[in-house]
Amino acid sequence: MILEVLINDSLLAIEIKKSDKKAFRILFERYYKNLLDYTITYTYDLQEAEDIVQQTFITLWNNRLNINSEKSIKSYLYRIAYNTYIDIYRKQKKRNAFFNELKEQALRDRITPDHEALDIRINKLKNVIETLPEKCKEILYLNKFEGLKYKEISEQLNISVKTVESHMYKAFKIIRKNFSEDDLFLCIVYKNFFKD
């Protein structure tokens, strides 16, 4: 333990670059709490901050061959954490914008004058999307929240356009089943979700 305290960050960086898992563990234990405290100042949410810090260390390990041992690995960790937060924030913003647009569309089409009932429907839709099979959910997110066309998704995931269409169809089938009693809202969902 005393030896671990004496190992400086530069030496850890050199060893991590050589895929030394013990050096990585020492770095993790050294900076996990500080990174968590730093990240929570952005997220205000412990669970989200923990996810970001975990992703930060995964990113560091996956990019270990690019570590510049001449520069501060601590600064590099903080930069990764910040960039991870920004990436998640942008994705959440896109998702929220999409669902807000869906809500406005439903109000314009007079699906219901009751804002609270509409919020319940939107939340139900979000929950249904979260329960989709992993590949369906990923493709739906890429299409609706990242704005990628089916062809772009097929290239990015190295699958055929037909496979993308099949997953989108499966996603809509599951959503339709959950909103079978709500044809008008389902119509709005279809118009907004399932056109390439």
Residue 2's pLDDT is what? Answer: 37
From residue 148, alpha-carbon distances to 8, 103, 143, 145 in Å are 44, 22, 5, 8
Phi-psi region of 158 (alpha: psi -120 to 50; beta: other; left: phi over 0): left
Q: Determine the Cα–Cα distance for residues 108 and 100; give it in Å rounded to an integer.
A: 12
Domains of the chain, each with CATH number or no CATH:
2-88 (1.10.1740.10), 113-193 (1.10.10.10)
pLDDT at 152: 92
**Helix (H), strand (E) at residue 98:** helix 73-108
Q: Which contiguous run of DSSP H or E holds residue 57?
A: helix 46-62
* pLDDT-flagged residues of the chain (< 70): 1-6, 96, 98-115, 182-196
Number of alpha carbons in the 13 Å side-chain half-sphere of residue 22:
5
Per-residue pLDDT at 79:
93
Collect all residues with Cβ–Cβ distance below 8 Å to 84 and sequence separation of at least 6: 52, 55, 56, 59
CB atoms within 10 A of CB 24: 17
Count Cβ atoms below 10 Å from residue 151 Cβ, excluding itself: 11
pLDDT value, residue 116: 75
pLDDT number for residue 37: 93
Q: Which pTM was predicted?
A: 0.54
Question: What pLDDT score does 6 carry?
Answer: 54
